[in-house]
Chains A and B, each alone.
Chain A
Amino acid sequence: MSVKYVPVSWTTSKKLYDAGLIAGIALYLLAFSHFAIGAVDDQALRIRALGSCAFLLLSLVLAIGPLARLDRRFLPLLYNRRHFGVITCTIAAGHALAVLGWYFAFSPLGPYDAMLVADIGSGHLRGVPFIPFGIAALLILLVLAVTSHDFWLSFLTPKLWKALHLGVYAAYGLVVLHVAFGALQAQRAFEIEVTVCALGLVALHLWTGFREGRKPRMAAAAPSGLVHACKLGDIAEGRAIVVRLTDADPVAIFRHEGRLSAVSHLCAHQNGPLGEGRVIDGCITCPWHGFQYRLEDGRAPPPFTERIATYRLHLTGDDVMLDPSPNPPGTYVQPLEPA
């Protein structure tokens, strides 16, 4: 949410977040080096420590989203998730460079050529190409890291940017394959980390998805085309209820100073759940990154320029009825004032 791009929009909370993350990584690497079993030299130890750390970080960064859906106390972790992702990519790149600099640095072919033609795999799986899985995963993480600046969100559009960043799930699958057919074959130390992180993450996402899927979805009633959203008294002051439609984006209906306004539930920034946010200073405030929108027209207050779709509401008795057709983003709609 900026008028003019800056390299990083630092805030105190972001600095604390990054400092805590970097301190945690340093502690993990130190502990790994101290307690590691079976490493034969400093180089191998460095490779294993960075690889293990990158896998753990990637698992953690993917856990933040569902944890924040399940419990709002995890929302602060989500606030600076992009920095978490960039740091994860940096650690993964460190792992790759350490591998290149040790196992492939002395080949007459050159390190990159040598890596591509190396005899790979170990144990019963000699020949299974686990290195390309890691290369592909690192490439995806690099693309995500280098497109994390807000410029890319604006340049590519939120839809394309989000689609590109869904690649992180492909990267995680590739990392699991890389570890399962690589490190897991040769080292017992990774078994617990890989099993707990990967299966735990799958269970967490499935549970969150199951919970989200159980929330009722509403269809427009014929012949009016309106959706019965809720009762007037269902919406707390300064808060919203979310109407999930069967064949359209979800809608958030806010109550502010007694009047009702309906806007898209999805923030224009990163699809954050606006309907779970609050009205602060007269504006809807996204719980993820604090982006704000005016209730009556879905526009960010000047000088900001983001816009979201608005919707029309009708009142029948104390039933709040929603017209599910979105207005173009930024369209003014008079807030509904109950009698």
Chain B
Amino acid sequence: MTAHLLVLAVEAYLGVGLVLALVFVFALIDRIDPQAHGAHAFRPLLLPGLTLLWPLVLVRTLAKLRGMTDPLASQRANLAAHRMAWLGLAVLIPVALVLAWSLKAPTEAPQSIRIGDAP
């Protein structure tokens, strides 16, 4: 039941996203990005992203329609995040592999087809 509700929620989210995505590419994009003027062939490529990220698209579109400009942004936060990401992975990956090996069954798992078997 929970799984079914989750699937329905995802479908509803994507349905709303698709409607907003179509509105965006047909009615709004020309007003917020000069490089889109007269450019149509690339617009279908945007639909999946607009559908997936519609809340973010909504926030950015409203900000741009209100004429808000983006301040000069330092990239140091992203560079620091990049370093932290790899330090985190340097811990996570060996731990995950050691744990996986230590718990691994000594022989190959049965090869019969069974729902949920590791493909």
Enumerate chain A interface residues (CB-CB to B < 8 A).
Answer: 2-7, 38, 40-41, 44, 47-48, 51, 95, 98-99, 102-104, 107, 109-110, 112-114, 116-125, 130-131, 142-143, 146-147, 149, 151-152, 154-159, 162-163, 166, 169-170, 172-173, 176-177, 180-188, 194-195, 198-199, 202, 205-206, 209, 248-249, 266, 271, 309, 326, 328-329
Name the interface residues of B97-119: CB closer than 8 Å to any CB of A: 97, 99-101, 103-105, 108-109, 111-113, 115-119
Measured between C-beta atoms, what is the minimum distance from B42 to chain A in Å?
A: 4
The answer to whether B72 touches A309 (Cβ under 8 A) is yes
Asked if B27 is an interface residue, CB under 8 A from chain A, the answer is no
Q: How far is the CA of A181 from the CA of B97 in the complex (A)?
A: 9
Q: How far is the CA of A123 from the CA of B114 in the complex (A)?
A: 13
Using CB atoms, name the residue of chain B closest to A4.
B39
What 1/0 mask marks residues of chain B from 24 to 45 whose CB sits below 8 Å from any chain A CB?
0000000011011111011001
Q: How far is the CA of A104 from the CA of B103 in the complex (A)?
A: 26
Enumerate chain B interface residues (CB-CB to A < 8 A).
Answer: 3-4, 6-7, 32-33, 35-39, 41-42, 45-46, 48-49, 52-53, 56-57, 60, 64, 70, 72-79, 81-83, 85-86, 88-90, 92-94, 96-97, 99-101, 103-105, 108-109, 111-113, 115-119
Query: Which residue of B7, B37, B48 is within 8 Å of A110 (Cβ)?
Result: B7
Choose among A114, A125, A131 the residue with the greatest number of B CB atoms under 10 Å from its CB: A125
Can you add 17 more A-B contacts, CB < 8 Å, to A4-B36, A185-B118?
A2-B35, A103-B113, A117-B3, A123-B105, A124-B103, A142-B48, A151-B36, A154-B33, A159-B78, A166-B78, A166-B85, A172-B89, A182-B119, A186-B117, A195-B97, A202-B89, A205-B89
Q: Chain B residues near A4 (CB, 8 Å)?
A: 35-39
Query: Which residue of B46, B75, B93, B116 is within 8 Å of A249 (Cβ)?
Result: B75
Query: Which residue of A5, A118, A119, A329 is within 8 Å of B39 (Cβ)?
Result: A5
Using CB atoms, name the residue of chain B closest to A7.
B42
Q: Chain A residues near B82 (CB, 8 Å)?
A: 166, 169
Query: Which residue of A122, A124, A176 is within 8 Å of B118 (Cβ)?
Result: A122
Measured between C-beta atoms, what is the minimum distance from B87 to chain A in Å?
A: 8
The answer to whether B97 touches A194 (Cβ under 8 A) is yes
Sampled A-B contacts (13; CB under 8 Å): A3-B35, A6-B39, A107-B115, A116-B3, A116-B7, A123-B109, A154-B35, A166-B82, A170-B85, A173-B88, A184-B100, A187-B108, A249-B76
Measured between C-beta atoms, what is the minimum distance from A264 to chain B in Å?
A: 9
The answer to whether B7 touches A112 (Cβ under 8 A) is yes
The answer to whether B97 touches A180 (Cβ under 8 A) is yes
Query: Which residue of A151, A206, A248 is within 8 Å of B86 (Cβ)?
Result: A206
The answer to whether B49 touches A147 (Cβ under 8 A) is yes
Measured between C-beta atoms, what is the minimum distance from B95 to chain A in Å?
A: 10
The answer to whether A6 touches B97 (Cβ under 8 A) is no
Q: Chain A residues near B7 (CB, 8 Å)?
A: 110, 112-113, 116
Q: Chain B residues near A151 (CB, 8 Å)?
A: 33, 35-36, 42, 46
The answer to whether B90 touches A202 (Cβ under 8 A) is yes
Q: How far is the CA of A185 from the CA of B118 in the complex (A)?
A: 8
Q: Chain A residues near B45 (CB, 8 Å)?
A: 7, 149
Q: How far is the CA of A173 from the CA of B109 in the complex (A)?
A: 25
Q: Chain A residues near B57 (CB, 8 Å)?
A: 155
Q: How far is the CA of A109 from the CA of B3 in the complex (A)?
A: 10
The answer to whether B42 touches A209 (Cβ under 8 A) is no
Q: How far is the CA of A156 from the CA of B99 in the complex (A)?
A: 39
Contacts A122-B117, A123-B103 given; indicate if A159 touches B109 (C-beta within 8 A).
Answer: no
Contacts A181-B100, A187-B108 given; indicate if A199 touches B94 (C-beta within 8 A).
Answer: yes
Q: How far is the CA of A151 from the CA of B92 in the complex (A)?
A: 34
Query: Which residue of B86, B94, B105, B108 is within 8 Å of A38 (Cβ)?
Result: B108
The answer to whether A114 touches B115 (Cβ under 8 A) is yes
The answer to whether B117 touches A38 (Cβ under 8 A) is no
Measured between C-beta atoms, what is the minimum distance from B9 to chain A in Å?
A: 12
Q: How far is the CA of A2 from the CA of B37 in the complex (A)?
A: 12
Contacts A124-B104, A151-B36 given; indicate if A7 touches B89 (C-beta within 8 A).
Answer: no
The answer to whether A266 touches B75 (Cβ under 8 A) is yes
Q: Nearest 6 CB-CB pairs, A to B?
A: A123-B105, A146-B49, A180-B100, A116-B3, A169-B85, A47-B119
